Amino acid sequence: MWEDLLGVLRTRRSATPSDHLLAEAWQDRLPDELMSLWREVGLGPLEDGLLTLIQPDELLEEVEAWAAVTQGRSLIPFMRTAFLDLYCWDGEAVYTLDVHMAELRPTHLDMESFLMFFLPDEAVIRDVLRRPLWEQACALVGRPAADEGLIFVPALCLGGQEVAAQIRRARWREAIAVLRGLHGL
């Protein structure tokens, strides 16, 4: 079922028994399509970290701390990008929480459309997920470890630019919290 997505993202992982247990814990709050992907490939990085399927509990409190940006929506984070943007589910559609610019953007897509058509699209991988910039950054600073992501220094909200020379690796939890602080949230 996930050949297009996994082929484009070059994923060669498979789920562990603990991934199945976690999926069962969230199956009443997240769509079947996400649970199916979760059970097949498990949690963790896709494409060596361009995207990472996350356990929602890891970032639920952090997403709630962005309430001024999320406008009080009840969002469940399920995926983060290498550049720390978060994909969240609100019960009907997928939203992007852009932590660099403090913006919540609706994708206007249900989970199936998001996973089957949006993410595998080469233009999305190039322009939204920033694969070319990610590849340049990985060549300069190395691939982020599982607990890391890529940030811009200076931060984009402080006038930084989306260029490889301004990218650093950082622990993703701390980096998201710092960006929230920079936005005064």
Q: How confident is the model over 21-66, as pLDDT tens digits? A: 777 788 889 999 998 888 888 888 877 788 988 889 889 999 999 9
> What is the pLDDT, as a whole number, of residue 35?
87
Higher pLDDT, 10 or 110: 110
- Position 3 pLDDT exceeds 70: no
**pTM of the predicted structure, to 2 decimals:** 0.90
Sign of CA dihedral 153, 172, 149, 68: negative
Residues 82 and 88 sit within 8 Å (Cβ to Cβ): no
Tell me the C-alpha distance between 160 and 162, whole Å: 7
- The pLDDT tens digits for 141-181 are 999 988 899 999 999 999 999 999 999 999 999 999 999 99
Which of the four pLDDT bands, split at 50, 70 and 90, describes residue 9? low
C-beta contacts of 20-26 below 8 A and 24+ residues apart: 22/55, 26/56, 26/76
Query: What pLDDT, on the 0 to 100 scale, is given for residue 14?
Result: 56
- Report the domain count for the chain: 1
Domain that holds residue 11: 3-182
Average model confidence (pLDDT) across the chain: 88
